[in-house]
């Protein structure tokens, strides 16, 4: 299958992209709407997430423009973002994230 | 201004189909419903198992769903079948006749022979079909459309292709003054704080959190825990890392418009815009609730190719990946897998969905209608007595 892009950005606020096919270490990310050339540092399976910009430890992972979890270590651009470096939100974090507009 | 041509009903609502249906108000009449519908070409049997031996909360839900289904704007006429002393058929008939719906009730009991019932049913249905054929489509604005949003047989691509594309469509129709109704409360568990934050005000946000908490409590009573069981090992292999991420992939079908109202199963929205309906994740029960609540069309994303359709509303199937579209083309209307191939953006597929929706509202037949996929089931809350 000939593909124009190897990854997709779901929201412009996101700090991760999703691989549209398995991307090998050494390849460059090609994402519609993103001009920055990011080198992929490790093989990323399709459907998995890739770090687009430096994420410090205990920082928000943003996908769909929303916080989907917190980093458990610093993550550098081009690296795999998954269960080994991300955790879900604690209930206290969820309730503060659930700030409702009044 | 986007318009379509639909059928204007006596109560002012607009339908996109002109069905004549037979619907049973007791599970015992399932086969009889099919038999009577088969007597007149074009009549659709709507078969369900509720109505008998139910707790009060289930009886209410069954009656509400039957009223919403038999009185649906896509239905020109409905024949209700009741049994013995069962009064549901009459209750539904009287309620709908007051609103000038074309309905009748027939009762299966020992004082009437089966041959007589079949003849009475056939005669009424023949007249109803003849009357329906004389009804003509008239122009209506898309702001009169209520579109149900559902998924079934999801895969790792659902949250990346089809669901965000449905979200893009949802924002567009809400912007045009129309209504989209997101369903499946179980799928929102884990991202409920995000959808609550999207609510128009604190009250609506709290109502949404309440239906999620109530649902989760009922699941916990059975000994299951959705939060610790998700994302499943299969989800993780597919690339999903957290429960928040998995649920976000589902609720993004609703786009980013403000959540205006939270409604119960099979209830009709009282507001226009983006709405949430409390339904289970089981697609057949969820779609039946959406249509009973007045959705004239349902959008349905699928990665594995769930064939679920509806006897009442056209279901537009949106495939999440190129493989499912290639293998099951006869079941799928829109190929969101083109996003993976880089042929289209999410917003472009959203526009394609909108185009398909208008064509469908105008009368173009969807894949599930072509194959007569007419699944129907009412969400049951309690034990059977």
Mean per-residue pLDDT over chain A, rounded: 91
Share of residues in chain B with pLDDT > 70 (%): 100
Domain boundary residue, one of B87, B115, B134? B134
The minimal CB distance from B244 to the residues A20, A89, A102 is found for A89
Q: How far is CA B88 from CA A67, B27, B378, in A?
A: 48, 12, 15
In contact, B291 and B297? CB cutoff 8 Å = no
Total residues belonging to chain A: 102
pLDDT over 80 (residue B158): yes
Which pLDDT tens digit goes with each residue over A2-23?
A: 578 999 999 999 999 999 999 9
Residues of A in contact with B206 (CB under 8 A): 100
> CA-based Rg of chain A, rounded to a whole angstrom?
14
pLDDT over 80 (residue A85): yes
- Yes or no, beta carbons of A47 and B242 under 8 Å apart: no
* pLDDT value of position B160: 96
Please identify which residue in the block is written with the tokens 């349905």. Answer: B300
B59 & B104 share domain: yes
Domain count across chain B:
2
pLDDT over 70 (residue A96): no
> B228 or B296: which carries more pLDDT confidence?
B296
- Yes or no, beta carbons of A87 and B157 under 8 Å apart: no
β B138-141/B3-8 pair status:
antiparallel
- Structural domain including B62 reads 19-134
In a domain, B314, yes or no: yes
Share of residues in chain B with pLDDT > 90 (%): 89
Q: What is the pTM of this model?
A: 0.96
Range A53-58 average pLDDT = 98
Residues of A in contact with B193 (CB under 8 A): 94-95, 97-98
Interface of A with B (CB under 8 A): 1-5, 8, 10, 18-21, 32, 45-49, 61, 63-69, 81-83, 86-89, 94-95, 97-102
* pLDDT value of position A2: 56
Domains of chain A: 1-102 (2.30.130.110)
Q: Which burial class, exposed, middle or buried, applies to B15 when counting CB atoms under 10 A from its CB (0-12, 13-18, 19+)?
A: buried
* pLDDT value of position B227: 87
Range B217-225 average pLDDT = 91
Range B293-321 average pLDDT = 96
Half-sphere exposure of B79 (CA within 13 A, CB side): 30
Range B241-257 average pLDDT = 95
Q: What are phi and psi of A39, to 5 degrees?
A: -85, 135
B262 & B338 share domain: yes
In contact, A37 and A70? CB cutoff 8 Å = no
pLDDT over 70 (residue B262): yes
Q: Show Cβ contacts of residue B317 under 8 Å, excluding neighbours closer than 6 positions.
A: B300, B301, B302, B331, B332, B333, B334, B366, B367, B368
Domain boundary residue, one of B85, B100, B134? B134
Please identify which residue in the block is written with the tokens 């997709």. Answer: A8
Which pLDDT tens digit goes with each residue over B107-136?
A: 998 888 999 999 999 999 999 999 999 999
Domain boundary residue, one of B134, B151, B179? B134
B41 in contact with chain A, both atoms CB, cutoff 8 A: no
B177 & B86 share domain: no
ipTM passes above 0.90: yes
In a domain, B222, yes or no: yes
In a domain, B126, yes or no: yes
pLDDT over 60 (residue A1): no
* pLDDT value of position A101: 43
In a domain, B379, yes or no: no
Range B367-373 average pLDDT = 96
B57 & B159 share domain: no
- Yes or no, beta carbons of B244 and A66 under 8 Å apart: yes
The minimal CB distance from A97 to the residues B193, B200, B248 is found for B193
Q: Which burial class, exposed, middle or buried, applies to B200 when counting CB atoms under 10 A from its CB (0-12, 13-18, 19+)?
A: middle
B115 in contact with chain A, both atoms CB, cutoff 8 A: no
């Amino acid at each position: 299958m000939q593909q124009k892009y190897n990854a997709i950005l779901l929201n412009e606020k996101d700090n991760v992209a999703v691989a549209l096919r398995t991307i090998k270490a050494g390849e460059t990310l090609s994402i519609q709407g993103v001009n920055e050339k990011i080198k992929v540092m490790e093989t990323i399976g399709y459907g998995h997430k890739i770090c687009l910009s430096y994420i410090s430890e205990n920082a928000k992972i943003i996908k769909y423009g929303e916080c989907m979890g917190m980093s458990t270590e610093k993550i550098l651009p081009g690296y795999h973002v998954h269960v080994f470096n991300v955790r879900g939100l604690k209930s206290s974090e969820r309730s503060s994230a659930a700030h409702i507009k009044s | 201004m986007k318009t379509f041509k639909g059928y204007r009903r006596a109560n002012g609502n607009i339908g996109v189909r002109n069905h004549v249906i037979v619907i049973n108000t007791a599970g015992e009449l399932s086969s009889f419903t099919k038999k009577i519908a088969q007597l007149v070409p074009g009549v659709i049997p709507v078969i369900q198992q509720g109505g008998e031996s139910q707790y009060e909360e289930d009886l209410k839900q069954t009656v509400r769903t039957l009223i919403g289904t038999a009185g649906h704007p896509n239905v020109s006429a409905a024949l209700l079948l009741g049994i013995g002393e069962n009064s549901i058929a009459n209750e539904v008939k009287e309620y709908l006749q007051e609103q000038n719906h074309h309905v009748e009730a027939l009762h299966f009991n020992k004082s009437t022979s089966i041959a007589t019932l079949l003849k009475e049913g056939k005669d009424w249905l023949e007249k109803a079909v003849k009357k329906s054929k004389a009804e003509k489509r008239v122009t209506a604005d898309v702001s009169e459309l209520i579109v149900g949003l559902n998924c079934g047989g999801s895969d790792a691509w659902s949250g990346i292709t089809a669901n965000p594309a449905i979200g893009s469509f949802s924002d567009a129709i809400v912007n045009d003054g129309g209504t989209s109704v997101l369903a499946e409360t179980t799928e929102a568990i884990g991202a409920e704080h995000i959808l609550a934050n999207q609510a128009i005000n604190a009250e609506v946000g709290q109502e949404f959190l309440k239906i999620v908490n109530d649902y989760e409590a009922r699941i916990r009573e059975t000994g299951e825990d959705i939060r610790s069981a998700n994302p499943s090992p299969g989800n993780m292999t597919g690339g999903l890392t957290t429960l928040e991420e998995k649920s976000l992939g589902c609720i993004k079908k609703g786009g980013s418009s403000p959540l205006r109202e939270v409604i119960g199963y099979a209830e009709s929205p009282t507001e226009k815009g983006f709405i949430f309906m409390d339904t289970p994740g089981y697609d057949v029960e969820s779609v039946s609730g959406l249509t009973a609540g007045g959705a004239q069309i349902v959008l349905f994303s699928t990665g594995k190719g769930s064939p679920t359709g509806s006897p009442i509303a056209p279901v537009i199937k949106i495939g999440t990946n190129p493989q499912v579209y290639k293998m099951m083309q006869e079941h799928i209307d829109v190929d969101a897998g083109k996003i993976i191939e880089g042929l289209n953006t999410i917003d472009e597929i959203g526009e394609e969905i909108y185009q398909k929706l208008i064509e469908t509202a105008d009368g173009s037949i969807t894949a599930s209608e072509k194959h007569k996929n007419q699944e129907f089931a009412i969400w049951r809350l309690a034990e059977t007595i």
